[in-house]
A and B are shown apart, each in its own frame.
Chain A
Amino acid sequence: MEPLIEVNCAAMECTSLSSGAPIWHDILAQAMTGEVLAAMNYASLSEICDDPAEVADALEHAEGERGHAAAFAAEGRKIGVDVTNNVEAKHWKRLREAFMGCIEQRDFIGCLIVQEIMLESFAVASYSRVGKVAPGSLGETFARIAAEEEDHVEHAMSILRAERARDAQRFDDKVYRLHLDVMTTLAKMLAKECKDGHCEVCHASCVKPSLFEVSLSAAELRGASLQQYLKTLDMLGIPGEVTLAWVTQLPV
């Protein structure tokens, strides 16, 4: 499937295909899909912003995410693989629909919760783990993008904290409603095994059982992502005992 958003990256010299290339290929495809989806989400967000500064901000974020997608594509070229994205893959599509639900309601705060609190927690944690084990520039790229995504989260946190200060219960209920939709989907994606069939992003069979070959595991990526999510919710001030129950109720 063709990427829905054009990814521009400079042609780079391919390195020889290492034994882990098929695994990195699938990891890059998941990451690139996430970045393209994030770019689409920010582009959509810009359409419901009233404040020109917020519009500019959302468009800048969209551009940044496109840059991340391009960087992942470039890393693929270096190891001799053509990384494509598939935002129509079932789980990613569901995540996009959840975001678009907020857009339809012109729910700016809901959009930030989905993108910055939920999807970015997943991105920051998983990219950080990949960044630690991936060789050379591949690892550096994942680590750099993880750091940049973390900056995004910081930016959104101040807006969300201010919103929660206005009505904590209402805010927490909104987070919970979105959690049930978005985090349930993410939990299925992060499960140790894909129980609902092929994810439609991996190129052949599911990459999860092979992750140990590159010093990763599906359990580790899930654990790190849920930990990052809980810590982000802590920073928002949502009671830890409440968010703990939310997370333990997710599917495995």
Chain B
Amino acid sequence: MGDSAASLARRVPPIDPDFALIGHQESWSAAADVLTVLRGPEHTPLPDDEIKDILPWIPPRVVCHVEVGSITGAKVRGIYIDSFIPPDRLEAPYVHENITRVRAAASCAIKAGAKIVSLGGFSSILIEGNFNLLPERQDTVFTTGNSLTVALIVQGIKEMCAREGRNLRKSTLLIVGATGDVGSGCARCLGPIVRRVLLNARNVERLRRLGAELRAEGVEVEIATDLQQFSAEADVVICAASLASPKLRLGRISPDALVCDAGYPKNLSPIAGMPGATVFFGGLGQVTGGMRFTPDFRGVLNRHPFPDVVHGCLLEGMALALEGRFEPFSQGRGCITRERVEEIETIASRHGIHLAPFYNADGPVEDETSMLAGIAEGSVFRVIEKRPWAQMR
């Protein structure tokens, strides 16, 4: 990392990338970390005010190369492209500016010759219903990555319930942001295996349509645009709303609720008082076949307390590239089905991409055995005891 940028060009010869990942930073501190790596250890980190002044002017571009291994021995190479959407400009007034940035990032991927492109975070939200907005492409396909995100959220809910001795079949599941691509996918996958589903979103018409679809499959469903109407009744909650910043408060949540925050940026407000609830970040997978960033952005672009953990939306492109399936696996809004989720889950698993160890804002949420395994595998993060959400910062 201390090498000069000129020699960097020598060390990383141009590649024909199998995949490209388009992302953005969810906070200014995350953006600062990226710029600090780029500046190198010989330069002092940029002051916060300078970062906020400079970052919005950076055109979308490749930030680093990524190599991913499969447990089958296969390897694929890709690039991470940052759209440099400023973390405080994710709100609606900036939507056109941000679509322009995602289009420019997509152009970078196409120009680089990426065979498949995963859209991370808001890139996906901005484009999922508007694939026609992407630039003209020849041999490059785009996927929102939402099918694998849903798969990992569902796996996480099931795993957590099993670990805590909860009976998912007797649970009341609340989905916040239920009509989005990820939220509706979770509803289709989990609806048939829980006792009751509560759907919350802003758009009542979409809620009605999704509710009718689930009822037709025999799922007991209630819908509401007012979250407070539901929160006390749910014992399992998935937060999958498209929020520009962590500001969601669930209100009168059940004291022993299980809460999965699957947002990027995170949905839940750090000051949301939920004493007793078990909170974990969902939609995350871990690459067990090895992953390498050049330059070394490990733990910077993927800021998680475990190694090689990546958001499902980005993992989908990697998994499909390892499988040699260069196809727009997830496209459109509200099109994710159980069958597609199971299919991408199988593909990911075949290449050693599994559900990531659980963690939340305070660190790992693990049983003792897993914690020790995490240390043995070289996790550089502090492993702490499980603590209730109320004690989080």
Contacts and interface: CB of A to CB of B under 8 A. Distances in A.
Interface of A: 169, 172-173, 176-177, 192, 219, 222-224, 226-227, 230-231, 234, 238-249, 252
B10 interface: yes
A47 to B, nearest CB: 30
A217 to B, nearest CB: 9
**Among B6, B43, B46, B53: residue with most chain A CB under 10 A:** B6
Given A230-B61, A249-B39, A252-B46, A242 B53 contact: no
B371 to A, nearest CB: 36
A227 B9 CA distance: 20
Contact of A248 (B12, B35, B53, B56): B35
Nearest to B53: A219
Contacts of B65: 241
A173 B5 CA distance: 10
Nearest to B54: A223
Contacts of B244: none
B62 interface: yes
Nearest to B42: A249
**Among B5, B8, B10, B12: residue with most chain A CB under 10 A:** B5
A249 B38 contact: yes
Contacts of B164: none
A250 to B, nearest CB: 9
A2 B56 CA distance: 39
A92 B43 CA distance: 25
B93 interface: no
B38 A223 contact: no
28 contacts: A169-B10, A173-B6, A176-B4, A176-B5, A177-B6, A223-B53, A223-B54, A224-B57, A226-B54, A226-B58, A230-B58, A231-B59, A239-B62, A241-B62, A241-B63, A241-B64, A241-B65, A242-B6, A242-B9, A243-B61, A244-B58, A245-B8, A248-B39, A248-B46, A249-B5, A249-B38, A249-B43, A252-B46
A167 to B, nearest CB: 13
Interface string B1-31: 0001110111010100000000000000000
Given A227-B58, A234-B59, A222 B6 contact: no
Contacts of A219: 53
A241 B215 CA distance: 50
B50 interface: yes
B57 A223 contact: yes
A5 B86 CA distance: 44
B355 interface: no
Nearest to B57: A223
Contacts of A252: 46-47, 50, 54
B38 A248 contact: yes
A159 B103 CA distance: 29
Nearest to B50: A252
**Among A230, A242, A248: residue with most chain B CB under 10 A:** A248
Given A223-B56, A227-B57, A244 B63 contact: yes
A248 B42 CA distance: 12
Interface in B185-244: none
B108 interface: yes
A235 to B, nearest CB: 11
B255 interface: no
A238 B57 CA distance: 18
Given A173-B6, A234-B59, A245-B295, 20 more contacts: A172-B9, A176-B4, A176-B6, A177-B6, A192-B50, A222-B54, A223-B54, A223-B57, A224-B57, A230-B61, A239-B62, A240-B62, A242-B6, A242-B8, A244-B58, A244-B63, A245-B40, A248-B46, A248-B54, A252-B54
Nearest to B84: A244
Q: Which 10 A-B pairs rank lowest in CB-CB distance, beginning with the nearest?
A: A240-B61, A223-B57, A245-B5, A219-B53, A176-B6, A248-B38, A227-B57, A241-B62, A242-B9, A252-B50
Contacts of B43: 249
Contacts of B35: 248
Nearest to B52: A219
A8 to B, nearest CB: 37
A207 B276 CA distance: 57
A238 to B, nearest CB: 8
A223 B84 CA distance: 13
A231 B108 CA distance: 12
B5 A242 contact: yes
B290 to A, nearest CB: 21
Contacts of B108: 240
Nearest to B80: A241
